Amino acid sequence: MSIRIAPSVLSADLGRLAEEVRTVERAGADWIHVDVMDGRFVPNIALGPGFVRAVRVASPLPVDVHLMVVEPERYLEDFAAAGADLISVHVEATVHLQRTLSRIRALGKRAGVVLNPSTSEEAVRYVLGDVDVILVMSVNPGFSGQQFIPAVLPKIRKLREWIDRDNLKIDLEVDGGVQASTARQVVEAGARVLVAGNAVFGEKDRDEAMRVLRAAAGEP
Ligand code: DX5
Ligand code: ZN
Protein backbone atom coordinates (compact mmCIF):
# COMPACT_ATOMS: atom_id res chain seq x y z
CA MET A 1 0.00 0.00 0.00
CA SER A 2 1.54 3.25 -0.96
CA ILE A 3 0.85 6.42 0.94
CA ARG A 4 1.32 9.79 -0.68
CA ILE A 5 2.21 12.88 1.29
CA ALA A 6 1.15 16.35 0.21
CA PRO A 7 2.88 19.07 2.24
CA SER A 8 0.74 22.21 2.51
CA VAL A 9 2.69 25.35 1.68
CA LEU A 10 0.39 27.40 3.91
CA SER A 11 2.79 26.48 6.72
CA ALA A 12 5.93 27.25 4.68
CA ASP A 13 8.09 30.37 4.84
CA LEU A 14 6.40 32.13 1.93
CA GLY A 15 9.23 34.58 1.49
CA ARG A 16 11.37 31.65 0.38
CA LEU A 17 8.65 29.73 -1.42
CA ALA A 18 10.66 28.10 -4.21
CA GLU A 19 13.36 26.95 -1.80
CA GLU A 20 10.77 25.66 0.65
CA VAL A 21 9.03 23.64 -2.05
CA ARG A 22 12.34 22.15 -3.13
CA THR A 23 13.19 21.05 0.40
CA VAL A 24 10.07 18.90 0.58
CA GLU A 25 10.50 17.69 -2.98
CA ARG A 26 13.98 16.45 -2.04
CA ALA A 27 12.50 14.89 1.09
CA GLY A 28 10.16 12.79 -1.07
CA ALA A 29 6.91 14.75 -1.11
CA ASP A 30 4.43 13.36 -3.62
CA TRP A 31 2.17 16.37 -4.23
CA ILE A 32 2.34 20.03 -3.21
CA HIS A 33 -0.89 21.16 -1.54
CA VAL A 34 -1.93 24.80 -2.00
CA ASP A 35 -4.67 26.23 0.23
CA VAL A 36 -6.73 28.99 -1.36
CA MET A 37 -8.92 31.00 1.04
CA ASP A 38 -11.31 33.84 0.26
CA GLY A 39 -12.20 35.24 3.69
CA ARG A 40 -15.83 34.22 3.11
CA PHE A 41 -16.00 30.45 2.94
CA VAL A 42 -13.34 30.41 5.65
CA PRO A 43 -12.31 33.16 8.07
CA ASN A 44 -8.89 33.66 6.52
CA ILE A 45 -7.46 34.93 3.24
CA ALA A 46 -4.62 33.13 1.50
CA LEU A 47 -2.89 32.29 -1.76
CA GLY A 48 -4.19 32.95 -5.27
CA PRO A 49 -3.44 31.78 -8.82
CA GLY A 50 -0.15 33.72 -8.93
CA PHE A 51 1.00 31.67 -6.02
CA VAL A 52 0.01 28.42 -7.73
CA ARG A 53 2.02 29.54 -10.75
CA ALA A 54 5.08 30.12 -8.51
CA VAL A 55 4.77 26.60 -7.04
CA ARG A 56 4.36 25.18 -10.54
CA VAL A 57 7.58 26.86 -11.64
CA ALA A 58 9.47 25.77 -8.51
CA SER A 59 8.80 22.05 -8.81
CA PRO A 60 7.63 19.37 -11.24
CA LEU A 61 5.50 17.71 -8.53
CA PRO A 62 1.72 17.64 -9.01
CA VAL A 63 0.11 20.80 -7.62
CA ASP A 64 -2.95 20.00 -5.49
CA VAL A 65 -5.13 23.11 -5.24
CA HIS A 66 -7.66 23.16 -2.39
CA LEU A 67 -10.22 25.89 -3.04
CA MET A 68 -11.80 27.16 0.17
CA VAL A 69 -13.85 29.79 -1.62
CA VAL A 70 -17.53 30.38 -2.27
CA GLU A 71 -18.60 29.76 -5.87
CA PRO A 72 -15.33 28.07 -6.85
CA GLU A 73 -16.74 27.61 -10.35
CA ARG A 74 -15.83 31.26 -11.01
CA TYR A 75 -12.10 30.61 -10.65
CA LEU A 76 -11.49 27.23 -12.29
CA GLU A 77 -10.00 28.63 -15.51
CA ASP A 78 -7.61 30.85 -13.54
CA PHE A 79 -6.25 28.00 -11.44
CA ALA A 80 -6.07 25.65 -14.41
CA ALA A 81 -4.08 28.25 -16.36
CA ALA A 82 -1.82 28.80 -13.36
CA GLY A 83 -0.71 25.17 -13.55
CA ALA A 84 -2.85 23.24 -11.06
CA ASP A 85 -2.92 19.48 -11.69
CA LEU A 86 -5.76 18.79 -9.29
CA ILE A 87 -8.47 21.28 -8.36
CA SER A 88 -10.66 20.47 -5.36
CA VAL A 89 -13.90 22.25 -4.47
CA HIS A 90 -15.98 22.04 -1.31
CA VAL A 91 -19.46 20.52 -1.66
CA GLU A 92 -20.62 23.23 0.75
CA ALA A 93 -19.44 26.01 -1.55
CA THR A 94 -20.90 25.20 -4.97
CA VAL A 95 -24.58 24.72 -5.77
CA HIS A 96 -24.21 22.69 -8.96
CA LEU A 97 -21.49 20.33 -7.82
CA GLN A 98 -21.66 17.92 -10.74
CA ARG A 99 -21.35 20.75 -13.25
CA THR A 100 -18.39 22.23 -11.38
CA LEU A 101 -16.59 18.90 -11.27
CA SER A 102 -17.15 18.16 -14.93
CA ARG A 103 -15.82 21.63 -15.81
CA ILE A 104 -12.60 20.84 -13.97
CA ARG A 105 -12.20 17.69 -16.02
CA ALA A 106 -13.08 19.54 -19.20
CA LEU A 107 -10.15 21.85 -18.43
CA GLY A 108 -7.93 18.76 -18.48
CA LYS A 109 -7.39 18.68 -14.70
CA ARG A 110 -8.12 16.10 -12.06
CA ALA A 111 -11.32 16.92 -10.16
CA GLY A 112 -11.50 16.81 -6.38
CA VAL A 113 -14.39 17.18 -3.99
CA VAL A 114 -13.95 18.24 -0.35
CA LEU A 115 -16.11 17.53 2.69
CA ASN A 116 -16.09 19.65 5.85
CA PRO A 117 -15.97 17.67 9.12
CA SER A 118 -19.73 18.01 9.64
CA THR A 119 -20.69 17.03 6.07
CA SER A 120 -21.86 13.48 5.43
CA GLU A 121 -20.27 11.18 2.85
CA GLU A 122 -23.75 11.07 1.29
CA ALA A 123 -23.02 14.49 -0.21
CA VAL A 124 -20.72 12.83 -2.78
CA ARG A 125 -22.69 9.65 -3.41
CA TYR A 126 -24.06 10.80 -6.77
CA VAL A 127 -20.87 12.37 -8.09
CA LEU A 128 -18.55 9.42 -7.59
CA GLY A 129 -18.24 9.06 -11.36
CA ASP A 130 -17.17 12.69 -11.69
CA VAL A 131 -14.30 12.79 -9.21
CA ASP A 132 -10.67 11.72 -9.14
CA VAL A 133 -10.06 12.67 -5.51
CA ILE A 134 -12.19 12.89 -2.38
CA LEU A 135 -10.66 15.11 0.30
CA VAL A 136 -11.98 14.64 3.83
CA MET A 137 -11.33 17.59 6.14
CA SER A 138 -10.26 16.55 9.61
CA VAL A 139 -10.32 20.13 10.90
CA ASN A 140 -12.66 22.99 10.09
CA PRO A 141 -10.80 24.65 7.22
CA GLY A 142 -9.17 28.05 7.55
CA PHE A 143 -5.91 27.58 9.42
CA SER A 144 -3.03 25.20 9.70
CA GLY A 145 -1.92 23.82 13.05
CA GLN A 146 -5.40 22.87 14.29
CA GLN A 147 -6.27 19.75 16.20
CA PHE A 148 -7.37 16.61 14.35
CA ILE A 149 -11.09 15.74 14.76
CA PRO A 150 -11.35 11.94 15.22
CA ALA A 151 -15.11 11.96 14.55
CA VAL A 152 -14.30 12.01 10.81
CA LEU A 153 -12.72 8.53 10.91
CA PRO A 154 -15.99 6.62 10.28
CA LYS A 155 -16.57 8.83 7.23
CA ILE A 156 -13.15 7.91 5.83
CA ARG A 157 -13.96 4.23 6.44
CA LYS A 158 -17.30 4.50 4.65
CA LEU A 159 -15.74 6.22 1.63
CA ARG A 160 -12.97 3.59 1.48
CA GLU A 161 -15.70 0.92 1.50
CA TRP A 162 -17.48 2.54 -1.45
CA ILE A 163 -14.25 3.00 -3.40
CA ASP A 164 -13.13 -0.61 -2.89
CA ARG A 165 -16.56 -2.13 -3.41
CA ASP A 166 -16.94 -0.59 -6.86
CA ASN A 167 -13.23 -0.54 -7.64
CA LEU A 168 -13.36 3.22 -8.21
CA LYS A 169 -10.26 5.07 -9.36
CA ILE A 170 -10.52 7.70 -6.63
CA ASP A 171 -7.73 8.90 -4.34
CA LEU A 172 -8.90 9.32 -0.75
CA GLU A 173 -7.11 12.27 0.85
CA VAL A 174 -7.25 13.70 4.38
CA ASP A 175 -6.42 17.27 5.43
CA GLY A 176 -6.01 18.83 8.86
CA GLY A 177 -4.05 17.96 11.96
CA VAL A 178 -2.27 15.06 10.27
CA GLN A 179 0.96 14.33 12.12
CA ALA A 180 2.83 11.40 13.62
CA SER A 181 0.19 10.87 16.32
CA THR A 182 -2.78 10.81 13.91
CA ALA A 183 -1.42 9.48 10.60
CA ARG A 184 -1.86 5.85 11.52
CA GLN A 185 -5.57 6.12 12.34
CA VAL A 186 -6.21 7.99 9.12
CA VAL A 187 -4.45 5.37 7.02
CA GLU A 188 -6.12 2.51 8.87
CA ALA A 189 -9.47 4.13 8.15
CA GLY A 190 -8.59 4.09 4.44
CA ALA A 191 -6.92 7.36 3.44
CA ARG A 192 -4.00 7.11 1.00
CA VAL A 193 -3.01 10.74 0.56
CA LEU A 194 -2.06 12.76 3.63
CA VAL A 195 -1.93 16.55 3.60
CA ALA A 196 0.52 17.85 6.18
CA GLY A 197 1.19 21.49 6.99
CA ASN A 198 2.81 21.97 10.35
CA ALA A 199 4.02 18.38 10.59
CA VAL A 200 6.36 19.02 7.64
CA PHE A 201 6.94 22.77 7.23
CA GLY A 202 6.87 23.34 10.98
CA GLU A 203 9.99 21.17 11.32
CA LYS A 204 13.46 22.39 10.44
CA ASP A 205 14.65 19.05 9.11
CA ARG A 206 12.25 18.24 6.28
CA ASP A 207 13.82 14.85 5.50
CA GLU A 208 13.34 13.78 9.08
CA ALA A 209 9.80 15.20 9.22
CA MET A 210 8.78 13.23 6.13
CA ARG A 211 10.44 10.07 7.42
CA VAL A 212 8.64 10.36 10.75
CA LEU A 213 5.32 10.90 9.03
CA ARG A 214 5.75 7.97 6.64
CA ALA A 215 6.82 5.68 9.45
CA ALA A 216 3.83 6.78 11.53
CA ALA A 217 1.56 6.10 8.57
CA GLY A 218 2.88 2.55 8.49
CA GLU A 219 5.21 2.83 5.50
CA PRO A 220 8.68 1.29 5.64
C1 DX5 B 1 -6.73 23.92 6.57
C2 DX5 B 1 -5.97 23.65 5.30
C3 DX5 B 1 -4.92 22.64 5.50
C4 DX5 B 1 -3.81 23.07 6.44
C5 DX5 B 1 -3.22 21.83 7.04
O6 DX5 B 1 -7.70 24.86 6.31
O7 DX5 B 1 -6.85 23.17 4.30
O8 DX5 B 1 -4.39 22.19 4.27
O9 DX5 B 1 -2.82 23.83 5.82
O10 DX5 B 1 -2.34 22.21 8.06
P11 DX5 B 1 -2.02 21.22 9.27
O12 DX5 B 1 -1.48 19.97 8.69
O13 DX5 B 1 -1.02 21.99 10.07
O14 DX5 B 1 -3.32 20.99 10.02
ZN1 ZN C 1 -5.94 22.14 2.53
Looking at every residue in the chain, the average pLDDT score rounds to: 97
Mutate to test the pocket of ligand 1, among 32, 35, 136 (most ligand atoms within 8 A of CB): 35
Q: Which residue has the higher pLDDT, 219 or 180?
A: 180
- Quote the pLDDT of residue 151: 98
Ligand nearest to the CA of 144: 1
Q: Taking CB atoms and a 6 Å cutoff, what residues make up the pocket around ligand 1? A: 8, 10-11, 33, 35, 66, 139, 141-146, 175-178, 195-199
pTM passes above 0.95: yes
Annotation marks residue 64 as catalytic: no
User: Collapsing DSSP states into helix, strand and coil, what is residue 69?
Assistant: coil
- Quote the pLDDT of residue 53: 98
For the CA of 42, the nearest atom of ligand 1: 6
Mean pLDDT of 136-163: 98
- Quote the pLDDT of residue 86: 98
Can you give the length of the chain in residues? 220
Could you tell me the pLDDT band of residue 220, with boundaries at 50, 70 and 90? low
pLDDT at 219 over 90: no
Q: What are phi and psi of 203, to 5 degrees?
A: -105, 140
Residues 6+ apart with CB under 8 A from 77: 107
Mutate to test the pocket of ligand 1, among 90, 147, 175, 200 (most ligand atoms within 8 A of CB): 175
Residues 6+ apart with CB under 8 A from 61: 21, 25, 29, 30, 31, 32
Annotation marks residue 130 as catalytic: no
Percentage of residues in the chain having pLDDT higher than 90: 99
Mean pLDDT of 24-42: 98
